[in-house]
Chain A
Amino acid sequence: MSKKTALTWIAGATLALSMIVGGCSTESTNTAAGTSKNNSSGELTTFSYFVFDPGDNVPEHTKIGDMIEQKTGVKIKYERLVGEKEQKVGVMIAGGDYPDLINTSETVKFEDANALIPLEDLIEQHAPNIKRIYGPYWERLKAADGHIYALPQVAPTGTPIKGISAAFWIQKEVLKDAGYPKITTFDQYVDVLRAYYKKYPQIDGADTIPFEILTYDNRNFTLTTAMQFLAGGPNDSRAIVDPVANKLAFYQTDENVTKRYYAKLHEMYREGMIDKEAFVMNYEQYLAKLSSGRVLGMFDQKWQFQTALDSLKQQGKANRMFVPLQLTFDDSIQPDYLDVPSMNYNMGFSITINAKDPVAAIKYADYMASEEGQLLRNWGVAGEDYTVSETGRFYRNQEQRDFFADPKNGLKTTGNILWYWPGSSGTMADGNSYQQYQQPEEIAAGYDEMDSELLKAYGVTTYEELFDGPNLARKYFPLWSIELTEKNKVFNQKLNDINKKYPPQMVVAKNADDFEKYWNEYVALVEKLDIQGWLDELTTKVKDRQENW
Chain B
Amino acid sequence: MSVTVERVKEHTQIQKRPRKWSKLRSQKALMIMSIPFLVYVIIFAYVPLYGWMMAFQNYKLGSVMVENEWVGLANFRELFQDENFIRVIRNTLAMSLINLVFGFVSSIGLALMLNEVRKVMFKRVVQTVSYLPHFLSWVVAANLIMNVLSIDGAVNKLLVSLHIIKEPIMWLSEQHYFWWIIGASNVWKEIGWSAIIYLAAMTTIDPSLYEAASIDGAGRFRKIRHITLPGIRGIIVILLIMNIGHILDAGFEQQYLLQTPMVVDFSETIDIFVLKYGINLSRFSFATAAGIFKTVISVVLLLAANRMAKRMGQERLF
Contacts and interface: CB of A to CB of B under 8 A. Distances in A.
Q: Do A and B come from one complex?
A: yes
Interface of A: 11, 14-15, 17-18, 21, 86-87, 90, 93-94, 96, 109, 112-115, 215-216, 220, 276-277, 279-282, 284-285, 486, 489-490, 493, 497, 500-501, 503-505, 508
A87 to B, nearest CB: 7
A53 to B, nearest CB: 17
Nearest to B59: A94
B136 interface: no
Contacts of A94: 61-62
B66 A11 contact: yes
B184 interface: no
A18 B61 contact: no
Given A281-B146, A281-B150, A285-B146, A504 B62 contact: no
Nearest to A110: B62
Interface in B44-87: 47, 50, 60-63, 65-66, 84
Contacts of A489: 281
Given A277-B170, A500-B264, A504-B261, A486 B62 contact: no
Contacts of B254: none
B135 to A, nearest CB: 20
B315 interface: no
B276 interface: yes
A285 B147 contact: yes
A93 B62 contact: yes
A280 B170 contact: yes
Contact of A113 (B61, B173, B279): B61
A109 B282 contact: yes
12 contacts: A86-B280, A87-B279, A115-B62, A215-B261, A276-B170, A280-B150, A282-B146, A282-B257, A486-B282, A486-B283, A493-B280, A508-B262
B114 to A, nearest CB: 35
A20 to B, nearest CB: 10
B62 A279 contact: no
User: Which of the listed residues A277, A285, A500, A508 has the most CB atoms from chain B within 10 Å of its own CB?
Assistant: A277
Contacts of A21: 47
Contacts of B63: 113
A461 to B, nearest CB: 40
Interface of B: 47, 50, 60-63, 65-66, 84, 142-143, 146-147, 150-151, 170, 172-173, 257, 260-262, 264-265, 276-277, 279-284
Nearest to B268: A497
User: Which of the listed residues A90, A280, A282, A486 has the most CB atoms from chain B within 10 Å of its own CB?
Assistant: A280
Given A279-B173, A489-B281, A18 B50 contact: yes
A503 B276 CA distance: 20
A284 B143 contact: yes
Contact of A497 (B84, B143, B283, B284): B84
A282 B143 contact: yes
Q: Is the interface of A mostly helix, strand, loop or mixed?
A: helix
Contacts of B281: 486, 489-490, 493
Given A15-B66, A17-B47, A94-B61, A279 B143 contact: no
Nearest to B172: A280
B151 to A, nearest CB: 6
Nearest to B83: A528
B142 to A, nearest CB: 8
A215 B65 CA distance: 40
B65 A90 contact: no
B170 A90 contact: no
Nearest to B168: A276
Contacts of A486: 281-283
Contacts of B62: 93-94, 96, 112-115
A216 B263 CA distance: 12
B65 A18 contact: yes
B261 A501 contact: yes
User: Which of the listed residues B143, B262, B279 has the most CB atoms from chain A within 10 Å of its own CB?
Assistant: B262
A486 B278 CA distance: 11
B276 A90 contact: no
Contacts of B260: 215-216, 279-281
Contacts of A281: 146, 150, 260
The 7 A-B residue pairs with the shortest CB-CB distance in the complex, in nearest-first order: A113-B62, A14-B50, A504-B261, A280-B172, A280-B260, A93-B61, A93-B62
A14 B42 CA distance: 11
B284 A490 contact: no
Contacts of B257: 282
Contacts of A220: 261
Given A15-B66, A90-B279, A504 B146 contact: no
Contacts of A96: 62
Contacts of B276: 493, 497
Contacts of B60: 112-113
Contact of B277 (A114, A215, A493, A504): A493
A525 B126 CA distance: 51
A490 B47 CA distance: 31
Given A113-B63, A280-B172, A86 B151 contact: no
Contacts of A17: 47, 50
A504 B284 CA distance: 31
Contacts of B173: 279-280, 508
A527 B314 CA distance: 55
A17 B49 CA distance: 12
Contacts of A500: 261, 264
A88 to B, nearest CB: 11
Contacts of A282: 142-143, 146, 257
A109 B59 CA distance: 13
Given A109-B61, A113-B60, A280-B172, 8 more contacts: A90-B284, A216-B260, A277-B151, A279-B173, A285-B146, A489-B281, A490-B281, A500-B261
Nearest to B260: A280
Nearest to A115: B62
A504 B262 contact: yes
Nearest to B277: A493
Contacts of B261: 215, 220, 279, 500-501, 503-504
